[in-house]
Structure 1
């Protein structure tokens, strides 16, 4: 697969290290992926599952994302609280495990900066709390990725989202220019593959350090790396599923992903991998034709 892959036009820029704000994964376990969704009505893997849709609705097939927050403070940690209600209107409290978690929660700013990936905690009444790191002023979108383990949606992957405002003087950052590799926390991440809108293609990520292949990637969320993408402009969501199987306590340097991005344009990819108990996050800008 790597031998037939063509170089991608990508931008990879460091987004922090193991201590990067918003990459706390020590909370309650959850599920990810998306299915068909309509435009936002709220204002917004298992390896055997596939994702479709864009995650830009707060309701789908009777399941609704209902946040407790309309705004969040800037410059300090904040708690974002929400419930997922089912077709009967009651909060859902039963969620299936996927990639070791029962809920994956994401926050992304409108200019695709400030990425945070959190595993929130749930109280018995179905209220989830996501502890967000410091946010900058602007418009943000929050995503809840889950799979009910009972009811009409049992076994189905949902991604629902809403927008939230962080008051203050907002300045948008331009999307970085394309590149095929970048440094993150002393590691070099190189990406090869090809991407066409609406078509499935393999994506190969290689991790090296000081010119040598990295083979001590520790399993993270039932894989050696986690990859999420957001579309420039509308912040549409896509989860790129890992196809490299976890066969031991360490892996690398090559990681394969199933890449199927539904629309053309620029996508911001966030690759997360773990070494020595530390989580590293790199951001990738991918132009999809």
Structure 2
């Protein structure tokens, strides 16, 4: 992983709007195009999140990206852009180089050659997948999308080519079926998932680093034996409303470093690139199962009174993945 303001996080995306509407029908039509991606800014100096808990200020010019399907001579070729809601299927895709050939050599990051995120445009469904690559460069991952509507698929990878940098590429995905727009997620600082309560403290601030602390309890008791998941006690993803910008954050410290406790608190240092509304997803592992707690926060904006309401139930957790150790840093994909 690279540091904030440098390419190298794993990628995903947010809905174009918390209240995106598709209408009710027997099938979902084309997904409306999001706003054009922002121009890439120069890479900044390293930021917080390297494990020492120190903070630094990120330049306002560091504009995240992620909406594009092609960048740096590489293209995400999504071969299954349409699925049926509630029906399991293999999500298939390839990464193609500038000549159109499938890429078959990748650098390993967090124990994987490629990470995949699927997020619904209503922000209620979130999947962190680890697909398998065939010899011909075709990737596949089984997935079941619970509801009809628009989704965004994001692949994070680093080609094993000289001078290649980490990339996050995205593509639209539609799940067909009857669709009724759900309520938009409201701001919240407490999430409940599978009997666990996760409380969020701290502030996500635009243009400057801040600490986010998440405390995990179960049946009112602090969870002090969190298990490493991909080499950390927690992973935090922030999705920005409006432009599909995505932030992946790792906590300060690492399991086995002699000073990082396995709960109940997992702390992160992160910087929002702008004011706005963000959806946060915390992945944590306990009793052999990875669970996801979701929050909605505003960066640089005052929250209306009385909006700290119970969160909608989190989506079912994905199966546990490889726990290979990795450095703990935060990046806005650029």
**TM-score normalised according to structure 1 size:** 0.78
Distance 1:133 1:168, change over 3 A: closer
Tell me what 1:228 maps to. 237
> Offset at 1:141?
0.6
| Alpha-carbon displacement from aligned partner over 1:160-190 (angstroms, at most 9, x marks no partner) | 1011122233222233322322322222211
Aligned partners of 2:255 and 2:74: how far apart in 1?
A: 32
Would you say the 8 A contact 2:249–2:270 is kept in 1? yes
Q: Distance in 2 between matches of 1:222 and 1:115?
A: 21
Deviates more, 1:125-134 or 1:162-171: 162-171
User: Within the alignment, does 1:33 sit opposite 2:10 as a pair?
Assistant: yes
- Please tell me the root mean square deviation across aligned C-alpha atoms, in Å: 2.7
Give unmatched runs, 5+ long, in structure 1: 1-30, 41-46
**Shift in CA distance, 172/230, structure 1 to aligned 2, threshold 3 Å:** farther
Match of 1:113 in 2: 124
1:278 to 264, 271, 289: 289
**Partners in 2 of 1:286 and 1:138 — Cα distance?**
23
Deviation at 1:55, TM superposition (A): 1.1
Is the Cα–Cα contact under 8 Å of residues 228 and 270 in structure 1 kept in the other structure?
A: yes
1:32·1:147 contact (CA, 8 Å) conserved in 2?
A: no
Contact preservation (8 Å) 1:65, 1:83: yes
Shift of 1:126: 0.9
- The gaps in structure 2 that reach 5 residues or longer are 1-7, 13-34, 38-48, 52-57, 301-334
1:218 and 2:215 equivalent? no
For residues 13-56 of structure 1, the C-alpha deviation after alignment (integer angstroms, 9 at most, x for no partner) is: xxxxxxxxxxxxxxxxxx84359xx936xxxxxx6599962311
Structure 1 110/282 Cα, relative in aligned 2: closer, same or farther at 3 Å?
same
2:209 to 200, 207, 232: 200
- Deviation of 1:251 after TM superposition, in Å, equals 1.1
Q: Paired residue for 1:269?
A: 280
Indicate if the aligned counterparts of 2:9 and 2:247 stay in contact, CA closer than 8 A: no
Count of residues paired in the alignment: 250
Larger Rg: 2
1:128 paired residue number: 139
More strand by share: 1
1:149 aligned to 2:126? no
